[in-house]
């Protein structure tokens, strides 16, 4: 079953060309080609040490040639089914019309599966009397009993009475509240269904996103012009009716983490693949350009890595891999990317660290960044306004020496944080809070 799910996931990724949309029949043709290749070569068409590297290999369409001991027709058929361009893969009818298959298909309708069959007639008298009375329309005096699962008049009547009195609604498993931006008190947001279990939420300037327990991502959309709350004459101050909408084409992937920035969103699958969508300003999507993307698109530059966590600031993004590597991209003002400069980048850039420092989680602020190491140490970079990075030090005479900004990740050495293991950190616009203690 795991292989089946993996093939389904890979064929979707390969067919949609790094864009998360629903797969079609050409994806099935590609998956079938992988199976035929493995049967002929006794090895997988695409192999790699991890899933991101495997997907990168699939995107390039590189695999070992098929053995010459097989006919040219079979080799050509498998190669056509594994073609990089989905439009150039054969249709199922074209495959069945191949000379190497047509003869077997003819046998399918004539010989294959044919079994000798001898039917033994059972005399009617051998049936039980109760069964004869039940099946016959005449005497026997047997009372017809309802079939299992059939509804009687009494049960239907009780069902109507119950429904008219109001059937109890299924209990809501979780609730999500939202406030701010003109909403003075927490407002209950609608969920896609009553059985939706939200595991994580994230919020940006306008977007609100959530990840469910079964690994689906959905967003709450604001009402558009034409809805009741937006029509002329609508009551001022009326609470907007946000509408939940699942991200399209994600039925074959499992989302485990979401982070929202300023008009853009990043989501992470359980396989360590990072996808982004939304505004491409400042290169925050990591696709090498500044174009907007309406549907989640894989960050191709990170396909060779297994991303375990991602964080979004207002205009920049940080991601950490399972090998404790950190990548940063987006706006570089104040040195928030930790790359030693203030340049902006539209592609992920690897951040350098000392060999003794092994980052395990990252956190982006508005104009700064922080990360935690496996030793529970805290490092920071970017704007230190109001000493939110805890970098100011005591000078001579008890005065405080203020550090305006740092362009590389610098250890936080201010007491008591320097000698305290940090477990979690969160940043606001002008302040920071940490939770101490070992994991």
Domain ranges of the chain: 1-107, 257-436
**pLDDT tens across 63-106, in order?**
888 888 888 888 888 888 888 888 889 988 888 888 888 877 77
30 and 15 Cβ atoms separated by less than 8 Å: yes
Tokens of 333: 């003002």
CATH number of 257-436: 2.130.10.30
Q: What is the pLDDT of residue 153?
A: 46
Model's pTM, two decimal places?
A: 0.66
Q: What is the pLDDT of residue 424?
A: 95
Spatial strand order in the sheet of 378-383: 359-364, 368-373, 378-383, 405-411
In the chain, count H helices and then E strands.
Answer: 8, 22
CA 318 → CA 261, 326, 402, 422, distances in Å?
11, 7, 26, 19
Q: Is 411 exposed, middle or buried (0-12, 13-18, 19+ CB in 10 A)?
A: middle
Q: What is the pLDDT of residue 141?
A: 43
- In the numeric block, the tokens 């101050």 are attached to 237
**pLDDT tens digit at each of 439 positions of the chain:** 444 444 445 554 544 444 444 567 888 888 888 898 888 888 888 887 777 777 777 877 778 888 888 888 888 888 888 888 888 899 888 888 888 888 777 777 776 666 666 665 555 554 454 444 444 444 444 444 444 444 444 444 444 444 445 555 667 789 999 998 888 899 999 999 888 999 999 999 889 999 999 999 999 988 665 555 444 444 445 667 889 999 876 767 899 999 999 999 999 999 999 999 999 999 999 999 999 999 999 999 999 899 999 999 999 999 999 999 999 999 999 999 999 999 999 999 999 998 889 999 999 999 999 999 999 999 999 999 999 999 998 777 667 888 999 999 999 988 889 889 999 999 999 999 999 987 6
CA distance 306 to 303: 7
3-state secondary structure 156-217: HHHHHHHHHHCCCCCCCCCCEEEEECCEEEEEEECCCCCCCCEEEEEECCCCEEEEECCCCE
Q: If you compute the radius of gyration of the chain from its CA atoms, what whole number of angstroms results?
A: 31
Q: What is the pLDDT of residue 92?
A: 86
Q: Is 327 left (phi over 0), alpha (psi -120 to 50) or beta?
A: beta
Tokens of 363: 């956190």
CA angle 199, 16, 62 (to 5 degrees): 115
Q: Per the CATH hierarchy, to which homologous superfamily does domain 1-107 belong?
A: Transferase(Phosphotransferase) domain 1 (1.10.510.10)
Neighbour tally for 215: CB within 10 Å: 14
**pLDDT tens across 233-261, in order?**
444 456 678 899 998 767 678 999 999 99
Give the list of residues 6+ apart from residue 53 with CB closer than 8 angstroms, or none. 303, 304
């Amino acid at each position: 079953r795991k292989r089946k799910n993996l093939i389904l996931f890979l064929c979707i990724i390969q067919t949609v060309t790094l864009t998360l949309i629903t797969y079609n029949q050409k994806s099935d043709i590609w998956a079938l080609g992988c199976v035929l290749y493995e049967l002929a070569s006794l090895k997988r068409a695409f192999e790699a040490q991890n899933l991101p590297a495997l997907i990168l290999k699939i995107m390039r369409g590189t695999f070992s040639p098929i053995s010459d001991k097989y006919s040219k027709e079979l080799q050509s058929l498998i190669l056509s089914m594994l073609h990089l361009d989905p439009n150039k893969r054969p249709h199922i009818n074209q495959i069945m019309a191949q000379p190497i298959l047509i003869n077997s298909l003819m046998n399918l309708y004539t010989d294959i599966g044919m079994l000798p069959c001898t039917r033994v007639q059972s005399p009617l008298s051998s049936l039980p009397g109760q069964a004869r009375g039940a099946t016959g329309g005449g005497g026997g005096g047997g009372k017809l009993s309802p079939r299992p699962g059939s509804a009687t008049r009494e049960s239907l009547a009780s069902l109507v009475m119950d429904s008219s009195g109001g059937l109890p609604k299924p209990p809501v498993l979780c609730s999500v509240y939202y406030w701010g931006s003109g909403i003075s008190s927490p407002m209950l947001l609608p969920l896609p269904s009553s059985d939706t279990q939200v595991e994580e939420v994230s919020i940006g300037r306008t977007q609100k996103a959530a990840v469910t327990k079964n690994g689906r991502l959905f967003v709450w959309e604001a009402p558009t012009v034409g809805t009741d709350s937006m029509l002329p004459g609508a009551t001022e101050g009326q609470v907007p009716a946000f509408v939940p909408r699942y991200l399209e084409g994600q039925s074959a992937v499992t989302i485990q983490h979401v982070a929202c920035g300023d008009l853009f969103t990043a989501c992470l699958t359980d396989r360590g693949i990072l996808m982004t969508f939304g505004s491409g300003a400042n290169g925050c999507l990591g696709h090498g350009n500044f174009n907007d993307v309406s549907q989640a698109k894989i960050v191709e530059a990170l396909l060779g890595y297994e991303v375990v966590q991602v964080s979004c600031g207002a205009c920049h993004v940080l991601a950490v891999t399972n090998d404790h590597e950190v990548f940063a991209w987006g706006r570089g003002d104040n040195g928030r990317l930790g790359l030693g400069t203030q340049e902006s980048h539209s592609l992920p850039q690897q951040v350098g660290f000392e060999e003794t420092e092994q980052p395990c989680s990252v956190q982006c602020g508005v104009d700064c960044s922080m990360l935690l190491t496996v030793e529970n140490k805290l490092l920071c970079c970017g704007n230190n306004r109001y000493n939110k990075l805890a970098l100011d030090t005591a000078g001579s005479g008890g005065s405080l020496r203020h550090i305006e900004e740092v362009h590389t990740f610098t250890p936080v050495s201010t007491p008591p944080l320097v000698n305290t293991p940090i477990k979690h950190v969160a940043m606001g616009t002008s302040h920071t809070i940490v939770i101490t203690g070992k994991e």
